[in-house]
Structure 1
Amino acid sequence: MINPVSVLSDPKNRSFYCSLFIVVSLIFGAYFIGSASIAKEYKEKLTRWKVIYNMQNTNLGTCKKQCQPSGTEALPEGIVVKTSDLEMRPLWGSSMKNKNSTPSMSLLAIAVGIKQKEIVDKIVRKFLSSDFVVMLFHYDGAVDKWRDLPWSDTAIHVSVMNQTKWWFAKRFLHPDIVTEYKYIFLWDEDLGVENFDPERYLSIIREEGLEISQPALDPVKSEVYHPITARAKKSKVHRRFYKFKGSGRCDDQSSGPPCIGWVEMMAPVFSSAAWQCVWYMIQNDLIHAWGLDVQLGYCAQGDRMKNVGVVDSEYIVHLGLPTLGVADDNKGINGMAHSHKEGSKALAPSGLPQASNRAKVRMQSFIDMRIFKERWRNAVKEDKCWVDPY
């Protein structure tokens, strides 16, 4: 058995073990120092990762608040253009409009057929003189037959066969496209505007705070289907209609259509905010939009009894001409209006029977209205969070 005392007493052995101790000490010292350095570096990395994580979370929260449009997540925010307009721009050179001119603040959109060319010409001339943007939806495809009119090149023409203005509006008047226009006039083509001034009309609806409106109808010369649209001669604007006899009475206690808060779909005028709501209400597959008028008050940006009205001092004439589904020749404004008022079939070409699908068009209109009403009822029933303000 080896005696440890004798081993250590030998100078050579003692020197060897001292050297070994020093080497081991150095190794352990290097190890602990290295570990401390690694631990410090690791700690610094963790700190950096934590900062980055917190920054990412902060940015994520900020991005959520910005309501970034769907599909633009891969783009930097500053490059995203959320809206557009209907301004026509040249392929080269400066803009077609004078750079110093005031941009148009209102839009007139009409679904037109060539047979009402003379009527539409008078309407458009009035609106262009008030610096409107004019957009024509050609439901008969006859765009080239409008080229002889002096204003044709300044208007925007869209041509799709056999569609209504509501079908066109749903596809070409998205709120993000027409957002720069403060008012949207979505009119029929058979309207007389001899007693109508667009600028005065805009002044009145701004003064009255009307988000949804229409010009009143001349009760003598017009086809009036809804009494609330008839002109009151001594009034500038009316919002309510009174009926004290028969069924469907309207009095001061009435709070909804057709007594108050309602305009016809023939010549409605919408503020930009109201149109943003109405556009979403238009059904993609129902082209006639019957039944929509009763619900327009929900888009009035507040109380429909205050923000919806009929302007009496700027009024129009509704000629009541059958258009969609009717084949006829163009006899001019006076001839067509006179014939229609007398119940004549003079709209058909001479010597030929009246070629008309008008009955089918009207039937489809009633079908669309029934479907829309059913959809509204179902939507109200299914949306547990929605509260009917009326």
Structure 2
Amino acid sequence: MDDILFGNEDRFSLAFYLVAEKKEKMRRKLNFFGLMGLLYVSAPSDPKRGSYLCSLLIAVSLICSVYFVGSAFFGKQYKERLTAWGVIEATQTSDICKDHCRPSGSEALPQGIVTEKSNYKMRPLWGSSLKDDNPQPSMSLLAIAVGIKQKAIVNQIVKKFPLSDFVVMLFHYDGVVDEWRGLSWSDSAIHVSAVNQTKWWFAKRFLHPDIVAEYNYIFLWDEDLGVENFNPRRYLSIVKDEGLEVSQPALDPSKSTVHHQITARVRNSIVHRQIFKFRGNTRCYGNSTSPPCTGWVEMMAPVFSKAAWQCTWYMIQNDLIHAWGLDRKLGYCAQGDWTKNVGVVDAEYIVHLGLSTLGVFNGSEALLSKSKEVDKRPEVRTQSSVEMNIFHERWEAGIKEDRCWVDPYQLIANQTRH
């Protein structure tokens, strides 16, 4: 193949040769026939000299014939090489394009125009929006499901997160948006409104991994959190130092509604990853490897790394909006050993007020007096339990259907026992 494959310089040389060779053939043909004519016209009457010239004419004819045949053969060979090069080049290009991975749906577009990811950075309607002299620094995202009744609490939360480091996104589950406009940070926030939906419904639809790919951490929080003892910058510093992919700030046990012991703050501690519990139905020992003994955070204030969120997003079910049961599976998204990569940060802690807000009103009823409110919280709780059972059933069914899947929980448990 070495005599067929050659580079761009050889291509141009061959092309030049073919053109020059064609002109040279024409010139030599004309010279040949001119010489023949000259010999014929100048042939003397002497028989001996005529015989000599005739022999010379035959010899010249044979030489020229050999030359023309050789030129045609070699010219054809070079043409075949050039043609073969084009075929091979096309084949190689086809192979490269075949292996080139393109996002689904972009196959009809030139690769250079495809933009796979996005973000929530706002752009001006006019001015030099294309030239960014101050590129956006590494940022994180704070997304909160909010209702207007918790406006004061949410305001305190957002003010803790400096806008230079965080993008703020509000999910308005009561449909009320305009009444937030008076807050100093409101115009810098992203507002999304859908009546009577949970933060998991919003997250599945508006926090796709390709959209939030530029953000290092995703805070997906409820609105009923006290943040007096919480500093987001220090929190992320601890998370990075400890290598936590999924985390949450600890809860102040004296002021919070605590559902699982592992979320309660441990004094004089920076981070804890497991608990010890020797009583009750669920007991936790030093060798426990599964939630809620380790690898566990609750769902009111989780914080995800970029990689962990990408995995979690795929695990959120499109039709199960309460996400009960998801907390027990978050360890699978911890990018490794969840007994190490999932933890509760004690040094930066919050208060969980435990306000039940979903189901208390519907849409514009948020603005009505309390006497006219419709309380559907019992129905919401029942639906949450139903969805948790459905999620567990789907998980078990998914395991049976996927023959290639190996449960890393079992691997870690076996290593621990050995």
The answer to whether TM tops 0.5 is yes
**In the alignment, does 2:325 pair up with 1:291?**
yes
Aligned length: 342
The one-letter code sitting in structure 1 at the alignment partner of 2:188 is: T
**Root mean square deviation, CA, Å:** 2.7
Q: Which has the higher helix share?
A: 2
Output the CA distance in 2 between the equivalents of 1:188 and 1:56: 57
Cα contact 1:242–1:249 (8 A) shared by 2: yes
Please show how residues 243-258 of structure 1 align to structure 2 within 5 Å. Answer: 243-258=277-292
Cα contact 1:211–1:301 (8 A) shared by 2: yes
**In the alignment, does 2:260 pair up with 1:226?**
yes
Deviations 1:177-233 (A, max 9, x none): 111110000000000000100000000000000010000001010000111100001
Task: Tell me which residue corresponds to 1:356.
Answer: 375
Please show how residues 198-213 of structure 1 align to structure 2 within 5 Å. Answer: 198-213=232-247
Output the CA distance in 2 between the equivalents of 1:316 and 1:297: 22
Output the CA distance in 1 between the equivalents of 2:388 and 2:73: 74
Task: Tell me which residue corresponds to 1:21.
Answer: none
Cα contact 1:130–1:198 (8 A) shared by 2: no
What is the aligned counterpart of 1:373 among 389, 392, 415? 392
Structure 2: runs of 5 or more not aligned: 1-64, 363-367, 410-418
**Structure 1 residues 80 and 97, CA, compared in 2 at 3 Å: closer, same or farther?**
closer
User: For 1:128, what is the secondary structure of its paired residue?
Assistant: coil
What is the aligned counterpart of 2:199 among 156, 165, 168? 165
The one-letter code sitting in structure 1 at the alignment partner of 2:151 is: K
Cα contact 1:90–1:96 (8 A) shared by 2: no
Task: Tell me which residue corresponds to 1:260.
Answer: 294
Output the CA distance in 2 between the equivalents of 1:233 and 1:259: 18
Output the CA distance in 2 between the equivalents of 1:355 and 1:97: 52
Output the CA distance in 2 between the equivalents of 1:47 and 1:381: 57
Deviations 1:79-107 (A, max 9, x none): 21111110001110145999437525111
What is the aligned counterpart of 1:93 among 123, 127, 131? 127
Provide the identity percentage. Answer: 65
Task: Tell me which residue corresponds to 1:156.
Answer: 190
Deviation at 1:43, TM superposition (A): 6.5
Deviation at 1:42, TM superposition (A): 7.5
Deviation at 1:76, TM superposition (A): 2.2
Which protein has the larger Cα radius of gyration, Structure 1 or Structure 2? Answer: 2
Cα contact 1:212–1:269 (8 A) shared by 2: yes
Q: Taking structure 2 as the reference length, what is the TM-score of the superposition?
A: 0.75
Deviation at 1:128, TM superposition (A): 2.8
Cα contact 2:138–2:216 (8 A) shared by 1: no
Output the CA distance in 1 between the equivalents of 2:151 and 2:255: 20
Task: Tell me which residue corresponds to 1:20.
Answer: none
Deviations 1:270-293 (A, max 9, x none): 001111111111111111111111
Output the CA distance in 2 between the equivalents of 1:269 and 1:163: 21
Q: Taking structure 1 as the reference length, what is the TM-score of the superposition?
A: 0.81
Cα contact 2:273–2:294 (8 A) shared by 1: yes
Output the CA distance in 2 between the equivalents of 1:97 and 1:211: 34
Cα contact 2:215–2:306 (8 A) shared by 1: yes
Deviations 1:100-131 (A, max 9, x none): 37525111000100011010000011113663
**In the alignment, does 2:404 pair up with 1:385?**
yes
Output the CA distance in 1 between the equivalents of 2:259 and 2:320: 22
User: For 1:257, what is the secondary structure of its paired residue?
Assistant: coil
Deviation at 1:358, TM superposition (A): 0.9
The one-letter code sitting in structure 1 at the alignment partner of 2:154 is: V
Structure 1: runs of 5 or more not aligned: 1-29, 329-347
Cα contact 2:295–2:342 (8 A) shared by 1: yes
**Structure 1 residues 224 and 378, CA, compared in 2 at 3 Å: closer, same or farther?**
same
Cα contact 1:111–1:137 (8 A) shared by 2: yes
Output the CA distance in 2 between the equivalents of 1:381 and 1:50: 53
Cα contact 1:88–1:96 (8 A) shared by 2: no
Please show how residues 166-185 of structure 1 align to structure 2 within 5 Å. Answer: 166-185=200-219
Task: Tell me which residue corresponds to 1:323.
Answer: 357
Cα contact 1:130–1:199 (8 A) shared by 2: no
Deviates more, 1:173-182 or 1:39-48: 39-48
